[in-house]
Amino acid sequence: MGSRLELLAPAGIPAVKPGDDLGAIIATALDAEGLRLQSGDVRVVAQKIVSKAEGRLVDLASVTPSARANEVAQETGKDARIVEIILSESVRVVRTRRDLVIVEHRLGLVMANAGVDQSNVTQDGTEQALLLPRDPDASARALRDALSRRYAGKLAVIINDSVGRAWRRGTVGIAIGAAGLPSLADLRGMPDMFGRPLRTSIVGLADEIAAAASLLMGQADEARPVVIVRGLDVSGEDLPAAALVRPQEEDLFR
């Protein structure tokens, strides 16, 4: 693995709409800046534009809150329609407080508000909420395949999202979808600097790449939802982001 890492965030990504071809949009933005994907590049794409392209928008006017949604809305002060959407995307509620619902998402992720978001979502005269992709790993594979048809060599794609952490303040980027790389890098058995074999070291490679890309993507009006990560060795067995979710039998806090 080299000692130099490049992160490139092309401008010119337009507002994405349902049905848009993300592969074509990304290629156009790269061409405009004279960039070309190289073998080994990792393309990190913000969850929000993937969800928009896949039409994962819900019109709040179409939502009828259940009794449970109304109960949680009373506890948290949140819009009962938003709570209903959160519950529909979740398998259980972990904890609530004012303006916050921590849930276990149907994808296995424990996160705030099931990833349901209204920031940077064009309303077009209606109140809308954006959901996570139905299958982020499948979305990553489809985008990887689309880009591979345009560019030669091995390419990888990560779909990232920002989440909070139970014991630390602030959000970080994590991989919720991945294709073309091992999301986990198992280093067990490799020697340390003194020849001792590593016994427990398993690196969340896709999460670390997603977090690095988030530094350029930003959280507000940066409008840089696509980042090329270049210079990493991401060879190895293709392992999806779903592998990053800790199995229940290994969870010491559930």
Tens of pLDDT, residue by residue over 10-21, are 988 998 999 999
CB count in 10 Å sphere of residue 67: 6
Assigned CATH class of 58-129: alpha beta
Tens of pLDDT, residue by residue over 4-57, are 899 999 988 998 999 999 999 999 999 999 988 889 999 999 999 999 999 999
Residues 192-221 have a mean pLDDT of 87
0.75 surpassed by pTM? yes
Predicted pLDDT of residue 221: 60
Q: Report the alpha-carbon distance of residue 249 to residue 238 in Å, rounded.
A: 24
CB 15 within 8 A of CB 242: no
What are the extents of the domains in the chain?
6-55+132-247, 58-129
- Band (pLDDT 50/70/90 cuts) for residue 123 is low
Distances (CA, A) of 58 to 14, 80, 81, 175, 241: 21, 14, 10, 23, 25
The token pair at 124 is 């077009």
CB 37 within 8 A of CB 151: yes
Distances (CA, A) of 125 to 59, 97, 104, 119, 122: 10, 30, 31, 15, 9
- 6-55+132-247 homologous superfamily: CofE-like (3.30.1330.100)
Tens of pLDDT, residue by residue over 61-91, are 999 999 999 999 999 999 999 999 999 999 9
pLDDT greater than 80 at residue 1: no
CB 154 within 8 A of CB 39: yes
CB 110 within 8 A of CB 102: yes
Is pLDDT larger for residue 219 or for residue 43?
43
